[in-house]
Chains A and B, each alone.
Chain A
Amino acid sequence: MIAIDNDTEVKQELLEVSMGPHHPSTHGVFRMNVLLDGETVVKLKPVFGYLHRNHEKIAETNSYLASIPYTDRLDYICAMTNNWAYTLSVEKLAGIAVPPRAEYIRVIVSELTRLINHSCLAGFLLQDMGALGTPLMYAFREREKILDLFEALTGSRMMHNFMRFGGCRCDLPPGWVDGAKTIVAHFGPFLDEFEALLTGNEILRARTEGVGVLSGALAVSAGVTGPMLRASGVNYDIRKVDAYGAYGKFAFRVPLGQRGDVFDRYMVRILEMRESLKILEQALRELPDGPVIDPKAKLRNLRPKPGEAYGRIESPKGELGFYLISDGGPTPYRFRVRPPSLINVTILEDLCLGHSVADVVVILGSVDIVLGEVDR
Protein backbone atom coordinates (compact mmCIF):
# COMPACT_ATOMS: atom_id res chain seq x y z
CA MET A 1 0.00 0.00 0.00
CA ILE A 2 1.48 3.32 -0.98
CA ALA A 3 0.54 6.14 1.30
CA ILE A 4 -0.13 9.41 -0.47
CA ASP A 5 1.00 12.38 1.47
CA ASN A 6 -1.57 15.16 1.08
CA ASP A 7 0.98 17.89 1.74
CA THR A 8 3.24 17.09 -1.20
CA GLU A 9 2.32 19.04 -4.31
CA VAL A 10 1.86 16.98 -7.45
CA LYS A 11 3.66 18.68 -10.31
CA GLN A 12 1.41 19.45 -13.26
CA GLU A 13 2.23 20.41 -16.78
CA LEU A 14 0.12 21.62 -19.62
CA LEU A 15 0.28 19.26 -22.58
CA GLU A 16 0.35 20.59 -26.11
CA VAL A 17 -1.27 18.23 -28.57
CA SER A 18 -1.47 18.69 -32.29
CA MET A 19 -4.79 17.31 -33.47
CA GLY A 20 -4.30 16.74 -37.15
CA PRO A 21 -3.56 17.26 -39.97
CA HIS A 22 -3.83 13.48 -40.41
CA HIS A 23 -6.92 12.88 -38.33
CA PRO A 24 -10.06 10.99 -39.19
CA SER A 25 -12.37 13.57 -37.64
CA THR A 26 -11.05 16.90 -38.75
CA HIS A 27 -12.99 16.94 -42.02
CA GLY A 28 -9.91 17.27 -44.16
CA VAL A 29 -6.33 18.33 -43.56
CA PHE A 30 -6.99 20.62 -40.63
CA ARG A 31 -4.75 20.95 -37.63
CA MET A 32 -5.51 22.27 -34.16
CA ASN A 33 -2.74 23.01 -31.67
CA VAL A 34 -4.50 22.30 -28.40
CA LEU A 35 -3.03 23.11 -24.99
CA LEU A 36 -4.52 20.73 -22.46
CA ASP A 37 -4.76 20.76 -18.71
CA GLY A 38 -5.54 17.11 -18.18
CA GLU A 39 -8.48 16.66 -20.50
CA THR A 40 -9.64 20.28 -20.49
CA VAL A 41 -8.78 22.65 -23.31
CA VAL A 42 -6.92 25.74 -22.17
CA LYS A 43 -5.92 27.15 -25.55
CA LEU A 44 -6.67 26.15 -29.12
CA LYS A 45 -5.09 27.53 -32.27
CA PRO A 46 -6.29 26.27 -35.64
CA VAL A 47 -3.63 25.80 -38.30
CA PHE A 48 -4.54 25.25 -41.93
CA GLY A 49 -3.24 25.91 -45.40
CA TYR A 50 -2.49 22.29 -46.22
CA LEU A 51 -4.99 22.36 -49.08
CA HIS A 52 -4.11 25.83 -50.36
CA ARG A 53 -4.26 25.51 -54.13
CA ASN A 54 -3.97 29.17 -55.03
CA HIS A 55 -7.40 29.42 -56.59
CA GLU A 56 -7.41 33.22 -56.46
CA LYS A 57 -4.17 33.64 -58.33
CA ILE A 58 -5.05 30.99 -60.92
CA ALA A 59 -8.27 32.89 -61.58
CA GLU A 60 -6.26 36.02 -62.38
CA THR A 61 -4.67 34.25 -65.33
CA ASN A 62 -7.71 32.28 -66.52
CA SER A 63 -10.73 33.66 -68.31
CA TYR A 64 -14.05 34.08 -66.49
CA LEU A 65 -15.45 30.91 -68.07
CA ALA A 66 -12.43 28.82 -67.14
CA SER A 67 -12.81 29.72 -63.46
CA ILE A 68 -16.19 28.00 -63.23
CA PRO A 69 -14.81 24.43 -62.91
CA TYR A 70 -12.38 25.70 -60.27
CA THR A 71 -15.26 27.00 -58.17
CA ASP A 72 -16.71 23.47 -58.12
CA ARG A 73 -13.66 22.42 -56.19
CA LEU A 74 -13.92 25.01 -53.43
CA ASP A 75 -16.56 23.44 -51.25
CA TYR A 76 -16.49 20.17 -53.09
CA ILE A 77 -19.64 18.75 -51.53
CA CYS A 78 -21.79 21.67 -52.70
CA ALA A 79 -20.57 22.41 -56.20
CA MET A 80 -23.85 23.88 -57.45
CA THR A 81 -24.02 26.65 -54.88
CA ASN A 82 -20.40 27.57 -55.52
CA ASN A 83 -21.15 27.88 -59.24
CA TRP A 84 -24.19 30.02 -58.48
CA ALA A 85 -22.32 32.43 -56.20
CA TYR A 86 -19.65 32.98 -58.86
CA THR A 87 -22.02 33.37 -61.79
CA LEU A 88 -24.18 35.71 -59.70
CA SER A 89 -21.18 37.94 -59.06
CA VAL A 90 -20.18 37.98 -62.72
CA GLU A 91 -23.77 38.70 -63.76
CA LYS A 92 -23.80 41.64 -61.34
CA LEU A 93 -20.45 42.84 -62.65
CA ALA A 94 -21.38 42.61 -66.32
CA GLY A 95 -25.10 43.30 -66.06
CA ILE A 96 -26.31 40.02 -67.57
CA ALA A 97 -29.94 38.99 -67.08
CA VAL A 98 -31.11 35.43 -66.37
CA PRO A 99 -34.28 33.90 -67.88
CA PRO A 100 -36.94 32.66 -65.40
CA ARG A 101 -36.58 28.96 -66.20
CA ALA A 102 -32.89 29.15 -65.41
CA GLU A 103 -33.64 30.87 -62.10
CA TYR A 104 -36.01 28.08 -61.11
CA ILE A 105 -33.53 25.38 -62.16
CA ARG A 106 -30.84 27.13 -60.13
CA VAL A 107 -33.08 27.10 -57.06
CA ILE A 108 -33.96 23.44 -57.55
CA VAL A 109 -30.37 22.26 -57.83
CA SER A 110 -29.25 24.49 -54.96
CA GLU A 111 -31.89 23.14 -52.64
CA LEU A 112 -30.98 19.58 -53.64
CA THR A 113 -27.40 20.53 -52.80
CA ARG A 114 -28.54 21.79 -49.42
CA LEU A 115 -30.14 18.40 -48.79
CA ILE A 116 -26.89 16.68 -49.74
CA ASN A 117 -24.79 18.89 -47.52
CA HIS A 118 -26.95 18.74 -44.44
CA SER A 119 -27.34 14.96 -44.60
CA CYS A 120 -23.56 14.67 -45.02
CA LEU A 121 -23.14 16.87 -41.99
CA ALA A 122 -25.49 14.86 -39.83
CA GLY A 123 -23.76 11.66 -40.91
CA PHE A 124 -20.25 12.96 -40.30
CA LEU A 125 -21.15 14.54 -36.98
CA LEU A 126 -22.43 11.22 -35.76
CA GLN A 127 -19.34 9.49 -37.08
CA ASP A 128 -17.14 11.91 -35.15
CA MET A 129 -19.09 11.06 -32.04
CA GLY A 130 -18.32 7.41 -32.47
CA ALA A 131 -21.32 5.96 -34.31
CA LEU A 132 -18.89 4.51 -36.78
CA GLY A 133 -20.66 4.74 -40.07
CA THR A 134 -24.30 3.69 -39.66
CA PRO A 135 -25.95 7.14 -39.73
CA LEU A 136 -23.38 8.19 -42.31
CA MET A 137 -24.29 5.37 -44.64
CA TYR A 138 -27.99 6.07 -44.26
CA ALA A 139 -27.35 9.69 -45.20
CA PHE A 140 -25.16 8.63 -48.10
CA ARG A 141 -27.85 6.29 -49.39
CA GLU A 142 -30.12 9.30 -49.97
CA ARG A 143 -27.25 11.40 -51.20
CA GLU A 144 -26.53 8.80 -53.89
CA LYS A 145 -29.99 9.21 -55.35
CA ILE A 146 -29.49 12.96 -55.64
CA LEU A 147 -26.01 12.46 -57.10
CA ASP A 148 -27.47 10.16 -59.75
CA LEU A 149 -29.85 12.98 -60.68
CA PHE A 150 -26.96 15.39 -60.95
CA GLU A 151 -24.97 12.96 -63.07
CA ALA A 152 -27.85 12.65 -65.51
CA LEU A 153 -28.11 16.45 -65.69
CA THR A 154 -24.53 17.66 -65.72
CA GLY A 155 -22.37 14.65 -66.50
CA SER A 156 -20.55 14.48 -63.20
CA ARG A 157 -21.55 13.49 -59.67
CA MET A 158 -19.70 16.16 -57.77
CA MET A 159 -17.88 18.59 -60.07
CA HIS A 160 -20.91 19.88 -61.87
CA ASN A 161 -19.67 22.90 -63.85
CA PHE A 162 -23.32 23.57 -64.56
CA MET A 163 -24.04 27.29 -64.38
CA ARG A 164 -23.02 29.80 -66.99
CA PHE A 165 -23.19 33.58 -67.10
CA GLY A 166 -26.84 34.24 -67.85
CA GLY A 167 -28.29 30.83 -67.06
CA CYS A 168 -27.41 27.15 -67.03
CA ARG A 169 -25.25 25.08 -69.35
CA CYS A 170 -27.99 22.79 -70.62
CA ASP A 171 -31.66 22.07 -70.12
CA LEU A 172 -33.12 19.30 -67.95
CA PRO A 173 -33.09 15.94 -69.73
CA PRO A 174 -36.46 14.18 -70.19
CA GLY A 175 -37.67 12.43 -67.04
CA TRP A 176 -35.47 14.50 -64.74
CA VAL A 177 -38.29 16.44 -63.14
CA ASP A 178 -40.15 13.23 -62.36
CA GLY A 179 -37.00 11.74 -60.84
CA ALA A 180 -36.58 14.83 -58.69
CA LYS A 181 -40.21 14.73 -57.58
CA THR A 182 -39.81 11.08 -56.54
CA ILE A 183 -36.75 11.89 -54.49
CA VAL A 184 -38.47 14.80 -52.80
CA ALA A 185 -41.46 12.60 -51.99
CA HIS A 186 -39.24 9.93 -50.41
CA PHE A 187 -36.98 12.31 -48.54
CA GLY A 188 -39.58 13.27 -45.96
CA PRO A 189 -40.07 9.68 -44.72
CA PHE A 190 -36.30 9.22 -44.84
CA LEU A 191 -35.89 12.22 -42.54
CA ASP A 192 -38.46 10.74 -40.18
CA GLU A 193 -36.50 7.48 -40.13
CA PHE A 194 -33.23 9.37 -39.65
CA GLU A 195 -34.63 11.36 -36.76
CA ALA A 196 -36.07 8.25 -35.17
CA LEU A 197 -32.56 6.84 -35.28
CA LEU A 198 -30.82 9.90 -33.93
CA THR A 199 -32.73 12.74 -32.36
CA GLY A 200 -34.09 10.82 -29.39
CA ASN A 201 -30.84 8.99 -28.82
CA GLU A 202 -29.66 9.61 -25.25
CA ILE A 203 -25.99 9.37 -26.12
CA LEU A 204 -26.33 12.01 -28.82
CA ARG A 205 -28.20 14.29 -26.45
CA ALA A 206 -25.72 13.89 -23.65
CA ARG A 207 -22.78 14.63 -25.91
CA THR A 208 -24.26 17.62 -27.68
CA GLU A 209 -26.52 19.51 -25.31
CA GLY A 210 -24.72 22.36 -23.58
CA VAL A 211 -21.53 21.77 -25.55
CA GLY A 212 -19.94 24.57 -27.55
CA VAL A 213 -22.46 27.28 -26.73
CA LEU A 214 -22.22 30.32 -29.01
CA SER A 215 -24.05 33.51 -28.09
CA GLY A 216 -25.81 35.49 -30.80
CA ALA A 217 -23.83 38.71 -30.25
CA LEU A 218 -20.47 36.98 -30.47
CA ALA A 219 -21.63 35.10 -33.57
CA VAL A 220 -22.57 38.28 -35.40
CA SER A 221 -19.37 40.05 -34.46
CA ALA A 222 -17.27 37.07 -35.50
CA GLY A 223 -18.91 37.00 -38.92
CA VAL A 224 -20.47 33.58 -38.43
CA THR A 225 -23.19 32.90 -40.98
CA GLY A 226 -25.42 30.09 -42.06
CA PRO A 227 -27.00 27.43 -39.84
CA MET A 228 -24.41 28.11 -37.13
CA LEU A 229 -25.63 31.70 -36.79
CA ARG A 230 -29.28 30.72 -36.87
CA ALA A 231 -28.71 28.08 -34.19
CA SER A 232 -27.65 30.92 -31.90
CA GLY A 233 -31.02 32.56 -32.38
CA VAL A 234 -30.12 35.25 -34.94
CA ASN A 235 -32.59 35.46 -37.80
CA TYR A 236 -30.40 36.16 -40.83
CA ASP A 237 -30.86 34.05 -43.93
CA ILE A 238 -29.57 35.59 -47.15
CA ARG A 239 -32.28 33.82 -49.11
CA LYS A 240 -34.77 36.02 -47.24
CA VAL A 241 -32.64 39.15 -46.83
CA ASP A 242 -31.38 39.54 -50.41
CA ALA A 243 -34.08 37.40 -52.07
CA TYR A 244 -31.68 36.65 -54.94
CA GLY A 245 -32.69 34.45 -57.84
CA ALA A 246 -36.24 33.17 -57.59
CA TYR A 247 -36.29 32.81 -53.79
CA GLY A 248 -38.73 35.69 -53.39
CA LYS A 249 -41.43 33.50 -54.93
CA PHE A 250 -41.31 30.61 -52.48
CA ALA A 251 -42.83 30.30 -49.03
CA PHE A 252 -40.49 28.78 -46.50
CA ARG A 253 -39.59 29.35 -42.86
CA VAL A 254 -36.22 29.90 -41.27
CA PRO A 255 -35.56 27.63 -38.26
CA LEU A 256 -33.81 29.28 -35.31
CA GLY A 257 -32.12 27.71 -32.33
CA GLN A 258 -32.42 28.70 -28.71
CA ARG A 259 -29.23 27.83 -26.91
CA GLY A 260 -26.60 27.84 -29.64
CA ASP A 261 -25.06 24.53 -28.65
CA VAL A 262 -24.09 21.61 -30.87
CA PHE A 263 -27.51 20.02 -30.58
CA ASP A 264 -29.19 23.21 -31.82
CA ARG A 265 -26.86 23.35 -34.82
CA TYR A 266 -27.71 19.76 -35.66
CA MET A 267 -31.46 20.32 -35.23
CA VAL A 268 -31.41 23.55 -37.27
CA ARG A 269 -29.91 21.63 -40.15
CA ILE A 270 -32.49 18.85 -39.93
CA LEU A 271 -35.29 21.43 -39.91
CA GLU A 272 -33.67 23.29 -42.81
CA MET A 273 -33.78 20.08 -44.80
CA ARG A 274 -37.53 19.95 -44.26
CA GLU A 275 -37.87 23.56 -45.40
CA SER A 276 -35.79 22.77 -48.48
CA LEU A 277 -38.24 20.01 -49.33
CA LYS A 278 -41.04 22.59 -49.26
CA ILE A 279 -39.12 24.89 -51.61
CA LEU A 280 -38.39 21.97 -53.92
CA GLU A 281 -42.03 20.92 -54.10
CA GLN A 282 -43.08 24.45 -55.02
CA ALA A 283 -40.30 24.96 -57.54
CA LEU A 284 -40.79 21.63 -59.29
CA ARG A 285 -44.50 22.30 -59.57
CA GLU A 286 -44.18 25.82 -60.93
CA LEU A 287 -41.15 25.34 -63.22
CA PRO A 288 -41.79 27.65 -66.21
CA ASP A 289 -40.91 26.90 -69.81
CA GLY A 290 -38.46 28.84 -71.90
CA PRO A 291 -34.75 29.01 -72.63
CA VAL A 292 -32.22 28.21 -69.95
CA ILE A 293 -29.74 30.78 -71.21
CA ASP A 294 -29.97 33.81 -73.45
CA PRO A 295 -29.19 32.47 -76.97
CA LYS A 296 -26.99 35.51 -77.62
CA ALA A 297 -25.05 35.14 -74.37
CA LYS A 298 -21.30 35.17 -74.84
CA LEU A 299 -19.64 31.95 -73.83
CA ARG A 300 -16.04 32.71 -74.69
CA ASN A 301 -14.06 35.88 -74.24
CA LEU A 302 -16.31 37.67 -71.79
CA ARG A 303 -14.80 41.08 -70.98
CA PRO A 304 -16.89 42.92 -68.37
CA LYS A 305 -16.41 46.68 -68.29
CA PRO A 306 -14.05 47.98 -65.58
CA GLY A 307 -15.65 47.99 -62.16
CA GLU A 308 -16.17 45.71 -59.22
CA ALA A 309 -18.98 43.66 -57.73
CA TYR A 310 -19.62 41.62 -54.61
CA GLY A 311 -22.24 38.90 -54.99
CA ARG A 312 -23.27 36.55 -52.20
CA ILE A 313 -25.62 33.62 -51.68
CA GLU A 314 -26.73 31.46 -48.79
CA SER A 315 -24.69 28.33 -49.36
CA PRO A 316 -25.39 25.37 -47.07
CA LYS A 317 -22.38 26.38 -44.96
CA GLY A 318 -23.03 30.10 -44.68
CA GLU A 319 -22.54 33.22 -46.74
CA LEU A 320 -20.50 32.44 -49.82
CA GLY A 321 -19.48 35.59 -51.63
CA PHE A 322 -17.30 36.43 -54.60
CA TYR A 323 -15.67 39.83 -54.91
CA LEU A 324 -14.52 40.51 -58.47
CA ILE A 325 -12.61 43.49 -59.79
CA SER A 326 -12.46 43.83 -63.56
CA ASP A 327 -10.09 46.06 -65.50
CA GLY A 328 -11.79 45.48 -68.85
CA GLY A 329 -9.55 42.59 -69.83
CA PRO A 330 -10.44 38.95 -70.45
CA THR A 331 -9.27 37.88 -66.96
CA PRO A 332 -10.34 39.33 -63.59
CA TYR A 333 -7.95 41.77 -61.92
CA ARG A 334 -8.87 40.50 -58.46
CA PHE A 335 -10.87 37.38 -57.69
CA ARG A 336 -11.70 36.95 -54.02
CA VAL A 337 -13.70 34.11 -52.47
CA ARG A 338 -15.35 34.90 -49.15
CA PRO A 339 -15.22 31.43 -47.60
CA PRO A 340 -17.87 30.69 -44.96
CA SER A 341 -15.95 27.75 -43.50
CA LEU A 342 -12.86 29.85 -42.79
CA ILE A 343 -14.81 32.61 -41.09
CA ASN A 344 -16.93 30.20 -39.07
CA VAL A 345 -13.70 28.72 -37.70
CA THR A 346 -12.63 32.11 -36.29
CA ILE A 347 -14.35 31.48 -32.97
CA LEU A 348 -13.49 27.80 -32.69
CA GLU A 349 -11.19 28.61 -29.80
CA ASP A 350 -13.92 30.46 -27.90
CA LEU A 351 -16.29 27.56 -28.31
CA CYS A 352 -13.85 24.91 -27.11
CA LEU A 353 -12.35 26.57 -24.03
CA GLY A 354 -13.21 24.68 -20.89
CA HIS A 355 -14.47 21.62 -22.73
CA SER A 356 -12.74 18.28 -22.94
CA VAL A 357 -10.79 16.99 -25.88
CA ALA A 358 -13.60 14.71 -26.98
CA ASP A 359 -15.91 17.70 -27.20
CA VAL A 360 -13.47 19.53 -29.49
CA VAL A 361 -14.09 16.96 -32.19
CA VAL A 362 -17.85 17.25 -31.80
CA ILE A 363 -17.76 21.06 -31.86
CA LEU A 364 -15.59 21.08 -34.97
CA GLY A 365 -18.02 18.68 -36.58
CA SER A 366 -20.92 21.02 -35.86
CA VAL A 367 -19.12 24.02 -37.38
CA ASP A 368 -19.23 22.12 -40.69
CA ILE A 369 -16.04 23.00 -42.49
CA VAL A 370 -14.73 21.75 -45.78
CA LEU A 371 -11.03 22.34 -46.23
CA GLY A 372 -11.37 23.03 -49.93
CA GLU A 373 -13.17 26.21 -48.94
CA VAL A 374 -11.05 27.16 -45.93
CA ASP A 375 -7.82 27.01 -47.86
CA ARG A 376 -8.98 27.58 -51.42
Chain B
Amino acid sequence: METLEQLKARLETAIPNAKIEIVPNPSPVNQPSLLLDTESARAIAHFLRDDPQLRLDYCSNVTGVDWLKAGYLEAVYHLYSVALKHGPVILRMRTGNRADRVYLPSLTPVWRSCEFQEREVYDLYGIVFQGHPDLRRILMWDEFVDYPMRKDYVEPDDYEYDPTPHDDALEKARKHYPQAPAPLQTEAAQ
Protein backbone atom coordinates (compact mmCIF):
# COMPACT_ATOMS: atom_id res chain seq x y z
CA MET B 1 0.00 0.00 0.00
CA GLU B 2 1.18 3.54 -0.70
CA THR B 3 2.49 5.80 2.04
CA LEU B 4 0.39 8.41 3.74
CA GLU B 5 2.20 11.23 1.96
CA GLN B 6 1.41 9.75 -1.47
CA LEU B 7 -2.19 9.22 -0.39
CA LYS B 8 -2.45 12.82 0.77
CA ALA B 9 -1.08 14.09 -2.56
CA ARG B 10 -3.59 11.99 -4.51
CA LEU B 11 -6.45 13.17 -2.34
CA GLU B 12 -5.51 16.79 -2.80
CA THR B 13 -5.50 16.40 -6.58
CA ALA B 14 -8.75 14.44 -6.65
CA ILE B 15 -10.71 16.68 -4.27
CA PRO B 16 -9.86 20.35 -4.70
CA ASN B 17 -10.22 22.58 -1.65
CA ALA B 18 -9.50 19.66 0.64
CA LYS B 19 -7.37 20.68 3.61
CA ILE B 20 -5.60 17.56 4.81
CA GLU B 21 -2.84 17.35 7.38
CA ILE B 22 -0.75 14.37 8.49
CA VAL B 23 -0.77 13.85 12.26
CA PRO B 24 2.36 11.92 13.26
CA ASN B 25 2.25 9.11 15.77
CA PRO B 26 5.45 8.80 17.84
CA SER B 27 4.75 5.29 19.14
CA PRO B 28 6.67 2.32 17.56
CA VAL B 29 3.58 0.98 15.79
CA ASN B 30 3.85 3.37 12.81
CA GLN B 31 0.18 4.33 12.45
CA PRO B 32 0.07 8.05 11.53
CA SER B 33 -3.29 9.55 10.66
CA LEU B 34 -4.86 12.10 8.33
CA LEU B 35 -6.61 15.12 9.80
CA LEU B 36 -9.52 16.11 7.56
CA ASP B 37 -11.56 19.29 7.40
CA THR B 38 -15.29 18.94 7.82
CA GLU B 39 -16.41 20.30 4.43
CA SER B 40 -14.61 17.78 2.26
CA ALA B 41 -14.68 14.79 4.63
CA ARG B 42 -17.61 13.06 2.94
CA ALA B 43 -16.07 13.45 -0.52
CA ILE B 44 -12.74 12.12 0.75
CA ALA B 45 -14.51 9.15 2.31
CA HIS B 46 -16.22 8.31 -0.97
CA PHE B 47 -12.90 8.55 -2.77
CA LEU B 48 -11.18 6.25 -0.27
CA ARG B 49 -13.93 3.68 -0.56
CA ASP B 50 -14.21 3.67 -4.35
CA ASP B 51 -10.62 4.22 -5.49
CA PRO B 52 -9.44 0.98 -7.19
CA GLN B 53 -5.99 1.19 -5.62
CA LEU B 54 -7.27 1.55 -2.08
CA ARG B 55 -10.82 0.13 -1.91
CA LEU B 56 -11.15 0.84 1.80
CA ASP B 57 -14.57 -0.71 2.06
CA TYR B 58 -14.54 -1.58 5.76
CA CYS B 59 -14.67 1.00 8.53
CA SER B 60 -13.50 -0.92 11.54
CA ASN B 61 -13.62 1.52 14.44
CA VAL B 62 -15.01 4.98 15.23
CA THR B 63 -13.66 6.54 18.41
CA GLY B 64 -14.40 9.77 20.18
CA VAL B 65 -11.61 11.58 22.02
CA ASP B 66 -11.91 14.55 24.32
CA TRP B 67 -8.86 16.80 24.16
CA LEU B 68 -9.67 18.94 27.18
CA LYS B 69 -6.55 21.09 27.19
CA ALA B 70 -6.57 21.69 23.43
CA GLY B 71 -10.27 22.54 23.62
CA TYR B 72 -11.90 20.33 21.00
CA LEU B 73 -13.49 16.92 20.53
CA GLU B 74 -12.24 14.52 17.93
CA ALA B 75 -13.61 11.53 16.00
CA VAL B 76 -11.07 8.96 14.78
CA TYR B 77 -11.91 6.45 12.04
CA HIS B 78 -9.90 3.28 11.34
CA LEU B 79 -10.37 2.02 7.77
CA TYR B 80 -9.31 -1.31 6.34
CA SER B 81 -9.80 -3.00 3.00
CA VAL B 82 -11.42 -6.42 2.91
CA ALA B 83 -11.06 -6.68 -0.87
CA LEU B 84 -7.33 -5.92 -0.98
CA LYS B 85 -6.50 -6.93 2.60
CA HIS B 86 -4.51 -3.87 3.59
CA GLY B 87 -4.85 -1.09 6.07
CA PRO B 88 -5.27 0.68 8.38
CA VAL B 89 -5.80 4.18 7.09
CA ILE B 90 -6.72 6.42 10.00
CA LEU B 91 -8.83 9.57 9.61
CA ARG B 92 -9.42 12.25 12.21
CA MET B 93 -11.94 15.06 12.36
CA ARG B 94 -11.96 17.77 14.99
CA THR B 95 -14.82 19.93 16.18
CA GLY B 96 -14.57 23.68 16.58
CA ASN B 97 -14.86 23.69 20.34
CA ARG B 98 -16.39 21.65 23.14
CA ALA B 99 -19.44 23.79 23.73
CA ASP B 100 -21.51 24.84 20.73
CA ARG B 101 -19.55 24.13 17.53
CA VAL B 102 -19.68 20.33 17.91
CA TYR B 103 -20.90 19.40 14.42
CA LEU B 104 -19.12 16.87 12.23
CA PRO B 105 -20.28 15.24 8.99
CA SER B 106 -21.48 11.69 9.48
CA LEU B 107 -19.76 8.99 7.43
CA THR B 108 -22.66 6.54 7.83
CA PRO B 109 -23.84 7.09 4.23
CA VAL B 110 -20.40 5.83 3.13
CA TRP B 111 -19.85 2.94 5.59
CA ARG B 112 -22.85 1.41 7.30
CA SER B 113 -20.74 0.25 10.26
CA CYS B 114 -20.44 3.85 11.50
CA GLU B 115 -24.13 3.89 12.33
CA PHE B 116 -24.05 2.54 15.90
CA GLN B 117 -20.53 3.73 16.61
CA GLU B 118 -21.31 7.37 15.75
CA ARG B 119 -24.40 7.11 17.92
CA GLU B 120 -22.16 5.99 20.76
CA VAL B 121 -19.76 8.92 20.20
CA TYR B 122 -22.75 11.28 20.24
CA ASP B 123 -24.08 9.67 23.40
CA LEU B 124 -20.83 9.71 25.35
CA TYR B 125 -19.06 12.80 23.98
CA GLY B 126 -21.74 15.04 22.50
CA ILE B 127 -20.44 15.30 18.93
CA VAL B 128 -23.46 15.84 16.63
CA PHE B 129 -23.03 13.98 13.35
CA GLN B 130 -24.89 15.70 10.53
CA GLY B 131 -26.40 13.35 7.99
CA HIS B 132 -26.73 10.43 10.39
CA PRO B 133 -30.02 8.58 9.75
CA ASP B 134 -30.96 8.04 13.40
CA LEU B 135 -28.87 10.04 15.87
CA ARG B 136 -30.03 9.30 19.40
CA ARG B 137 -28.52 7.92 22.57
CA ILE B 138 -27.50 4.31 22.48
CA LEU B 139 -25.94 3.23 25.79
CA MET B 140 -27.43 5.75 28.20
CA TRP B 141 -31.19 6.13 28.50
CA ASP B 142 -32.90 8.67 26.29
CA GLU B 143 -33.62 11.26 28.97
CA PHE B 144 -30.02 11.36 30.19
CA VAL B 145 -28.34 14.76 30.23
CA ASP B 146 -24.64 15.51 29.83
CA TYR B 147 -21.93 13.46 28.17
CA PRO B 148 -20.28 10.90 30.47
CA MET B 149 -16.97 10.22 28.75
CA ARG B 150 -15.86 13.85 28.67
CA LYS B 151 -12.89 14.60 30.87
CA ASP B 152 -14.75 17.24 32.87
CA TYR B 153 -17.84 15.16 33.52
CA VAL B 154 -19.09 15.47 37.09
CA GLU B 155 -21.19 12.54 38.20
CA PRO B 156 -24.49 13.29 39.95
CA ASP B 157 -24.51 13.50 43.72
CA ASP B 158 -26.21 10.19 44.45
CA TYR B 159 -24.64 7.78 46.83
CA GLU B 160 -25.32 4.22 47.96
CA TYR B 161 -24.13 2.66 51.17
CA ASP B 162 -20.61 1.27 50.88
CA PRO B 163 -19.02 -0.73 53.74
CA THR B 164 -15.44 0.35 52.93
CA PRO B 165 -15.49 3.94 51.82
CA HIS B 166 -12.18 5.74 51.59
CA ASP B 167 -10.87 8.92 49.95
CA ASP B 168 -13.63 10.68 48.02
CA ALA B 169 -16.17 7.91 48.63
CA LEU B 170 -15.66 8.61 52.36
CA GLU B 171 -16.40 12.31 51.81
CA LYS B 172 -19.63 11.48 50.03
CA ALA B 173 -20.56 8.97 52.73
CA ARG B 174 -20.10 11.59 55.44
CA LYS B 175 -22.35 14.00 53.56
CA HIS B 176 -25.14 11.53 52.92
CA TYR B 177 -24.95 9.32 55.98
CA PRO B 178 -23.78 11.28 59.02
CA GLN B 179 -24.17 8.09 61.00
CA ALA B 180 -23.55 4.61 59.55
CA PRO B 181 -26.66 2.37 59.66
CA ALA B 182 -26.73 -0.20 62.51
CA PRO B 183 -26.47 -3.91 61.64
CA LEU B 184 -29.73 -5.86 61.48
CA GLN B 185 -31.13 -6.61 64.90
CA THR B 186 -31.28 -10.38 64.21
CA GLU B 187 -27.54 -10.59 63.56
CA ALA B 188 -26.72 -8.30 66.49
CA ALA B 189 -28.87 -10.42 68.84
CA GLN B 190 -26.78 -13.50 67.94
Contact = CB atoms under 8 A, between A and B. Distances in A.
Interface stretch (A49-57, A71-79, A132-140, A199-207): A49-57
B28 A92 contact: yes
A305 B117 contact: no
A308 B31 contact: yes
Interface residues of B, number: 34
Contacts of A321: 60-61, 78
Contact of B29 (A93, A319, A375): A93
Interface residues of A, number: 44
A133 B115 CA distance: 36
Contacts of A57: 148-149
A222 B112 contact: yes
Nearest to B61: A338
A304 B27 contact: yes
A221 interface: yes
B17 interface: no
Contacts of A347: 112
A49 B31 contact: no
Contacts of A48: 138-139
| Dominant secondary structure of chain B at its interface with chain A | loop
A325 interface: yes
B25 interface: yes
A312 B27 CA distance: 16
Given A220-B82, A222-B112, A95 B60 contact: no
Nearest to A326: B27
Interface string B29-62: 1010000000000000000000000000111110
B186 to A, nearest CB: 32
A236 B60 CA distance: 13
Interface in A293-339: 304-312, 319, 321, 323, 325-326, 333-334, 336, 338
A346 to B, nearest CB: 5
A271 interface: no
A346 B115 contact: yes
Contacts of A345: 116
B72 interface: no
B32 to A, nearest CB: 10
A115 B58 CA distance: 27
Contacts of B112: 218, 221-223, 346-347
A284 interface: no
A218 to B, nearest CB: 7
A241 interface: yes
B57 to A, nearest CB: 5
Contact of B26 (A56, A307, A323): A307
Interface string B116-159: 11001000000000000000001111000000110000000000
Q: Which of B76, B82, B138, B141 has the most CB of A within 10 A?
A: B82
B57 A220 contact: yes
Nearest to A52: B139
B115 A309 contact: no
B20 interface: no
A345 B78 CA distance: 19
A129 interface: no
Given A92-B28, A307-B26, A310-B88, A336 B111 contact: no
Given A236-B82, A323-B63, A346-B112, A223 B29 contact: no
B154 to A, nearest CB: 13
B76 A323 contact: yes
Interface string A337-369: 010001101110000000000000000000000
Given A221-B57, A305-B27, A310 B113 contact: no
Contact of A323 (B78, B85, B140): B78
A375 to B, nearest CB: 6
A342 B76 CA distance: 18
Interface of A: 48-49, 52, 54, 56-57, 92-95, 218, 220-225, 234, 236, 241, 304-312, 319, 321, 323, 325-326, 333-334, 336, 338, 342-343, 345-347, 375
Listed from nearest, the 4 A-B pairs whose CB atoms lie closest are A223-B113, A307-B27, A95-B28, A49-B139
12 contacts: A57-B149, A92-B29, A220-B57, A222-B115, A223-B60, A305-B27, A309-B31, A319-B60, A321-B60, A334-B65, A342-B120, A346-B116
